[in-house]
Amino acid sequence: MCGMLLAFWPGALPAQTVAEHVARGDSLHAALEPRPALEHYRAAVALDSTAVEALWKCARSAIDVAKQLGTAERGRRDSLYQVARDYAERVTRLDSTEAEGYFMLAQALGRLSRTRGGRERVEFGREIYAAAATTLDLDSTHDGAHHVLGAWHAEVMRLGGLMRFFAENLLGGDYMDRASWDSSVAHLKRSVRLRPEYLFHRLELARVYVDLERYEDARAQLDTMLALAPTSDAMDPRYQEQAQRLLDEIAGRDARRQPPAPLRRVGPSTGAAPSAADFGTAVPHHPESHPSVFAHRPGSLEASSGAVVWSPHPAPVRLGAPPRPL
């Protein structure tokens, strides 16, 4: 599998040591060029199959390449995620104290799980949580692991009560009962504090704030995202596009949430309920028949096409039909 995927990026690499290949891969990774970086990390592994650092960096670059591929290249994308998973599992077997191995495993499984369904996805969720939690046991300041756990909590909470009940009781997802929105926010805020320049942390946190209808908090994260340079990840330009779309969505929700115009009062401002005289002798007064309209509302009413509106301007009003007693 690894050899087949390496053929996607042709070109023989000059003879170098493991350390030299890893250093060159690091330079390319920093330049947001994951494909050639992956070549160098793989070359390092070819020279030393137990090189833990080269192995987990192979997993990282494979994920970075895969996440840029769309659904049209789903097969190739999922193959790369599986390759990343294999590399990460090799790291955990070689060195159980290397936090990056567990983190890369959590990342690969998280992205691979999106193409799965049913029991397999539930089982992936269990492994994702375990891998991310182990990462934090080994390194409590790992921003990526906090992000994964924050996203995990949010994904479980988004399932809704019925779906969670089904997963917990029929698919073996009993671990899901530990999920909460508070934990999601806490982990994602921690990831942002640890690495504030990383756009994806802020985007994930903003999505959770939108779920919680904390729109001002979401705006703050999204506005910061758009102000930052897109240099933290190869996906940054796309993340900023998503941030702008989410801001537009929030603006649309705000527009729909605007309160209706206040009712206008008409007639004498005496503080008393409207009388029949305010409407003309043809309109009988039946306040007891419509307490929700008349009770404790001074002035008189203006009605048009069935709508009731209060106006501050005293004026005679034509009504369609008198209210009928109940």
Q: Are strands 302-304 and 307-309 parallel, antiparallel or unpaired?
A: antiparallel
Per-residue pLDDT of 187-241, as tens digits, reads 999 999 999 999 999 999 999 999 999 999 999 999 999 999 999 999 999 999 9
Q: How do residues 262-321 score in pLDDT, each as one tens digit?
A: 655 555 555 555 555 544 444 444 434 333 332 333 333 333 333 333 333 344 434 344
Residue 262: the pLDDT is 65
Cβ neighbour number for residue 77 with a 10 Å cutoff: 20
Contact 84, 63 (CB under 8 A): yes
108-135 pLDDT tens trace = 999 998 877 666 777 788 899 999 999 9
**How high is the pLDDT of residue 222?**
98
Determine the pLDDT at residue 104: 98
DSSP per residue over 224-241, as a string? HHHHS-S-S-TTHHHHHH
- pLDDT for position 235: 96
Sign of CA dihedral 159, 110, 113, 243: positive
Q: Is the whole-model pTM more than 0.95?
A: no
pLDDT tens per residue, range 58-74:
999 999 999 999 889 99
Q: How confident is the model at residue 154, as a pLDDT?
A: 93
Comparison of pLDDT for 162 and 131, the residue scoring more = 131
Sorted by where each begins, the domain ranges of the chain are 1-115, 263-326
Using pLDDT thresholds of 50, 70 and 90, give the confidence band for residue 261.
low
CA distance 254 to 106: 36
Which comes out higher in pLDDT, residue 7 or 100? 100
Cβ atoms within 10 A of the Cβ of 276, count? Answer: 13
CA distance 22 to 39: 10
Residue 268's pLDDT is 53
**Neighbouring residues of 25: CB distance < 8 A, sequence distance ≥ 6:** 37, 38, 39, 40, 41, 44, 54, 57, 61
Alpha helices, DSSP H only, in 73-227? 74-94, 99-113, 118-138, 143-158, 161-170, 181-194, 199-211, 215-227
Name the CATH superfamily, with its identifier, for domain 1-115: Tetratricopeptide repeat domain (1.25.40.10)
Q: Residue 292 in contact with residue 273, Cβ under 8 Å?
A: no
Q: What is the mean pLDDT of the chain?
A: 80
Which one-letter amino acid corresponds to residue 288? Answer: E
Q: Per residue in 29-48, pLDDT tens?
A: 999 999 999 999 999 999 99
Q: How far apart are CA 205 and CA 243, in angstroms?
A: 11
Closest CA to 155 of 118, 180, 120: 180
pLDDT for residue 176: 80
pLDDT of 11 > 50? The answer is: no
Residue type, 139: D
d(CA 160, CA 133): 23
Higher pLDDT, 245 or 125: 245
On the question of pLDDT at 3 being above 80, the answer is no
Looking at residue 210, its pLDDT comes to 97
In the numeric block, which tokens belong to residue 111? Answer: 């992205």
The pLDDT of residue 297 is 36
Strand partners, 188: none
> What burial class does residue 50 get, using C-beta atoms within 10 Å of its C-beta: 0-12 exposed, 13-18 middle, 19+ buried?
exposed
